[in-house]
Structure 1
Amino acid sequence: MSTDRPGPTGALHFPPGFRWGTSTSAYQVEGAVDADGRGESIWDRFCRSPGAVEHGDTGDVACDHYRRAEEDADLMARLHTNAHRFSIAWPRIMPEGRGNVEQRGLAHYDRFIDCLLERGIEPLVTLYHWDLPQTLQESGGWRNRDTAEHFARYAAVCRDAFGDRVRDWVTVNEPWIVGVLGHQLGLHAPGEKDVRASVTVMHHLLLAHGLAAGELRSGARGDTRTGIAYSLFPHTPDNAGDPADREAARHSDGYVNRWFLDPVHGRGYPDDMRRHWEKAAGALDFVRDGDLDTIAAGSDFIGVNYYTRRIVRADQGDGPWPWRVAEGRPGVPRTDLGWEIVPHDLRDLLLRLHTDYPGVPLLVTENGAIYGNEPAADGAVHDRRRIEFLHGHLKAVHEALALGAPVEGYYHWSLMDNFEWAMGYWPRFGLVHVDRATQRRTVKDSGHWYARAAADGAIPGVLTTGEPDR
């Protein structure tokens, strides 16, 4: 895929039809957790565990998006975006995770999809962004193979309700994060600390993807596409001249990236990571005959959630993982969370995916940064650093496109400041500032910058910014 050459003003033009999008997820923005028959989710339960979430925050209110959906669609139109990624809350559709279908939940998302389409905004729908119905958790959750079957039935319900208007579906968001943070380290819902549970859950999530993909594609619409949004991290050896560090980076890449990408694209689980998991968790006997064929039903696109890189060094200890994550490099700019800002790694990641899985379209389904800017005396939110972040990463996407990577769109995380899981509300990722007391939305300077880029289909070749951060 080629891009236009920079014009006289130095603008970097993106291809016609490029998706200028934003991203959200249901539990992070909707609130209204007891509205219209919604069932309890594992995050509702987890948030009530003492110390689980910073400041005791919950998603009970979040951004009140459930009640303000049309207002927020108008906000997206003001940003000139032509695409939006959001998730459907499984507990709103099937409060028990199976069986009864809640028509009021279907009606809500039916209206919201129409709101987007009426404003020229193409929906990208995620079916699972971590809010498993609590009833299913009490039957084993994702450790229980049956949950994958229940998920496929939930996908079929969504297909029948929305498949006439939704072409692209993300089945599962970030299966690595679900497995590691939710089931190995206990930092996310459901808060388990069990290595074997972690790898079991990852497998069942991939199985659920394959089963759901079959259901979604069986609808009347002939151009339906499905994919996973992966949490992908480029890996850099701490000492590139040290073969042990290079090998450690390769293994860590298998743990984070290849363990998911390879089976979905028909290569099976990588042998090196099978050995690591068998050492850490025992025999992988939960992988049954035919599972890998189901998982390899394929991905019609790769969803790329990219935030930063992992710098890895060898670890000669006795543990199953022969690596450890090292500190970042001195002098590299960082977000307010301390994550390194390395846009060129996004470019290289997109090119790697194009090489490793040729012919598969790419979508940057999440990319963003935490900056804590609040409204200034003039009422505006001056977040110059987010503008610089946006420019750097969109320029990286443009470079990847120019080198042949089939990138179809960029979805900024996030549309608005929201509930950021175990960190609660202090991290601000949004293009739009949300006042938690009043729910007032204020488009930040970065949002205005992104709106101009989306309207023009181009970004400046060289960035100049005005107001400093305040």
Structure 2
Amino acid sequence: MSTTPLEFPEGFLWGAATAAYQIEGAAHEDGRQDSIWDAFARKPGAVADAHNGEVACDHYHRSAQDVALMGELNLSAYRFSTSWARCMPDGGTPNPDGIRFYSRLVDELLAAGITPWLTLYHWDLPQALEDEGGWANRETAERFADYAAVMHEALGGRVRIWTTLNEPWCSAFLGYAEGVHAPGRTEPAAALAAAHHLLLGHGLATQRLRARDPEAKLGITLNLNVFDPVDPADEGDRDAARRLDGQFNRIFLDPLFRGEYPADLLADVSHLGLADVIRAGDLEVIAEPIDLLGVNYYHGEAVTKSPPTATAQPSPFVAADGAHSVPRGLPVTGMGWEVQPDGLRRLLNRVQQEYTGPAGIPIYITENGAAYEDVPDADGFVDDQDRLTFFDAHLRALHAAVADGVDVRGYLAWSLMDNFEWAYGYHQRFGLVRVDYESQQRIPKASGRWYAGVAAQNALPPAP
């Protein structure tokens, strides 16, 4: 048994992350209008128990309290998203009252010594733009670049780290192919068009921000996964892993870092029109150099091949051809996701070797966390040892990746507090801090107290 703490590199950034629609509430205050998530959450059966983000964690009215809470947790960075529907409700016209909220938030963070890390898009497209075709419409990418410029005009002098998109895979494929996320469409061709236009929007916004502020740190956040063939010797299982890796990981990584889509992916989806939406010069825009890559990691998957008829319902994997994941006996979270910390180490080594390393781009873990069934005691405290163990195991895997030579410079836990968990409503809790949705009281959990100690020491305690 080791008695030595695992120290992280000097200057390693410790923080937590949230998203606007999941915590802010105030859905129709100060000029904010519907996002696609407001509209989607009102559809019968779209969200568990018909919940929505009308109130959420009431962060819009409690931001000062929440920033103080971040200080108690020893966070040095806070990754938040700005709501496009709050700042430009019709998708194109600035709303000073909405923008002012984020200006106050940034000032509160800076006063507390916490680095503001701004994400421009965490899934809350103005419904007005969805009514014009959403991300399947090329013009949305142009509008996104305009939005980026408006936000930089307001906040650029104080915000130095900018993420364009959070998890474009979810926006494109859960929203436009499987229909379980907003806007709830089940159109595979539109999903591929959305994926391309999201990437194009990222490139256009990066160009616009770079021109305005050459010293800003610009990046994108991708949710990445590890797909292992159930039987590496089986040709079908290997093809399953290739197909899912292509449509989940490489569909974004290759254009961003190599200026091209994977040839095998283009062949897999040749019948769905992706090639038709790619115009001359698009890939050069998408490959605009970035300063950092955000990686969100939650779990890996073991995958196999089955007859195409096995998937009767819409699937986000439009290139799957019967590929699907199967359980392999690992522990699972409350959402049924496998707990696979070793996958994080393997993923980071691969990403650096194949993508970020040759470009000299550092990696940040911008989301990692787990939902479990939290049971508060009489005082509202949650002794969430399962989540604490999850964080500990993944941070040890991250430390091992750093020891392998991977240039990882920070870790932002998901999430700062319990919140509206998209289609799951409020039943799945990811927070370091418990939120009592009736009283809006915030109480740090055992995992939050533990994480505060890790952040303060820049080190993991010795392994038990």
Q: TM class, shorter-chain normalised?
A: over 0.9
**Counterpart among 331, 334, 337 of residue 335 in structure 2:** 337
Aligned-partner Cα distance in 2 for 1:390–1:441: 20
Report SS of the residue matched to 1:302: strand
Instruction: Tell me the equivalent position of 2:391.
Output: 390
Deviation at 1:277, TM superposition (A): 1.4
- Give the Cα–Cα distance (whole angstroms) in 1 for the partners of residues 201 and 182 of structure 2: 19
Deviations 1:345-386 (A, max 9, x none): 101111111101112210111100001213213542100011
Residue matched to 2:314: none
What is aligned with 1:431? 432
CA contact (8 A) 1:170 1:226 kept: yes
Mind listing any 5+ residue stretches in structure 2 that lack a counterpart?
310-317
Counterparts of 2:322 and 2:341 in 1: how far apart (Å)?
Answer: 24
Structure 1 or 2: larger helix share?
A: 2
* 8 Å CA contact retained: 2:119, 2:166: yes
Q: Match of 2:104, as an amino acid?
A: R
Aligned pair partner of 2:56 in 42, 50, 62? 62
Quick check: 1:249–1:323 contact (8 Å CA) kept in 2?
A: no
Residue 443 in structure 1 maps to residue 415 in structure 2? no
Structure-2 residue corresponding to 1:157:
150
Cα distance in structure 1, aligned partners of 2:3 and 2:75: 23
Following the alignment from structure 2 to structure 1, what is the Cα–Cα distance between the partners of residues 99 and 334? 38
2:235 paired residue number? 243
Task: State the shift of 1:227 in Å.
Answer: 1.6
Q: Distance in 1 between matches of 2:35 and 2:308?
A: 38
- The Cα shift of 1:323 comes to 4.4
* Aligned counterpart, 1:200: 193
Of residues 88, 104, 119, the one that matches 2:82 is 88
Deviation at 1:114, TM superposition (A): 1.2
Q: Distance in 2 between matches of 1:267 and 1:461?
A: 43
| CA RMSD in angstroms, aligned pairs only | 1.5
Q: Which residue, out of 11, 24, 37, partners 2:5?
A: 11
Aligned residue runs from structure 1 range 100-119, under 5 A? 100-119=93-112
Spell out, residue by residue over 1:369-418, the C-alpha distance to the aligned partner (whole angstroms, 9 max, x if none): 00121321354210001110110011111111111111011111100000
| Pairing 1:6-405 to 2, within 5 Å after superposition | 9-98=3-92, 100-220=93-213, 222-279=214-271, 281-282=272-273, 284-317=275-308, 320-330=319-329, 332-357=330-355, 358=357, 359-405=360-406
CA distance in 2, matches of 1:154, 1:395: 38
Please state whether the residue corresponding to 2:198 is helix, strand or coil.
helix
Q: 5+ residue gaps in structure 1? A: 1-5, 464-470
Q: TM-score, normalised by structure 2?
A: 0.95
Deviates more, 1:310-319 or 1:363-372: 310-319
Secondary structure at the counterpart of residue 84 of structure 1: strand
Q: Tell me the SS of whatever aligns to 2:427.
A: coil
| Percentage of pairs with the same residue | 48
Q: d(CA) in 2 for partners of 1:322 and 1:47? A: 30
The separation in 2 between residues aligned to 1:378 and 1:166, in whole angstroms, is: 37
1:192 CA displacement: 0.5
Distance, in Å, in 2 between the alignment partners of 1:218 and 1:105 is 25
* Structure 1 residues 144 and 417, CA gap change in structure 2 (3 angstroms): same
Q: 2:412 matched to which residue of 1?
A: 411
Contact 2:304 2:325 in 1 (8 A): yes
Query: Does the CA-based 8 Å contact 1:265-1:299 persist in structure 2?
Result: no
Which contiguous aligned blocks of 4+ residues in structure 1 show a shift greater than 4 angstroms? Answer: none
Residue 93 of structure 1 deviates from its aligned partner by: 1.0
Deviations 1:187-215 (A, max 9, x none): 11111010100000000000000000011
* Distance verdict in 2 for CA 1:293–1:181, change over 3 Å: same
Deviation at 1:321, TM superposition (A): 2.5
Q: Within 2, Cα distance between the matches of 1:107 and 1:72?
A: 17
Q: State the Cα distance separating 1:248 from its structure 2 match.
A: 2.0
TM-score by length of 1: 0.94
**Deviation for aligned residue 1:316:** 4.9
In the alignment, the residues of structure 1 paired with residue 255 and residue 16 of structure 2 have an alpha-carbon distance, to the nearest angstrom, of 28
Compared CA separation, residues 323 and 406, structure 1 to 2 (3 A): farther
How many residues of Structure 1 are paired with residues of Structure 2 in the alignment?
453
Closer/same/farther in 2, CA of residues 352 and 37 from structure 1, 3 Å limit = same
Amino acid at match of 1:243: E
**Cα offset for 1:180?**
1.1
Deviations 1:422-457 (A, max 9, x none): 110000000000001110101000000000000111
Query: CA–CA distance in 2 between the matches of 1:106 and 1:347?
Result: 38
CA distance in structure 2 between the partners assigned to 1:147 and 1:267 by the alignment: 21
Conserved in 2, the CA contact under 8 Å of 1:361 and 1:408? yes
Q: Which amino acid aligns with 1:328?
A: P
Q: CA deviation at 1:34?
A: 1.1
> 1:467 aligns to what?
none
Q: Quick one: distance in 2 between partners of 1:296 and 1:267?
A: 5
Tell me if structure 2 keeps the 8 A contact 1:312–1:323: no
Secondary structure, aligned partner of 1:172: strand
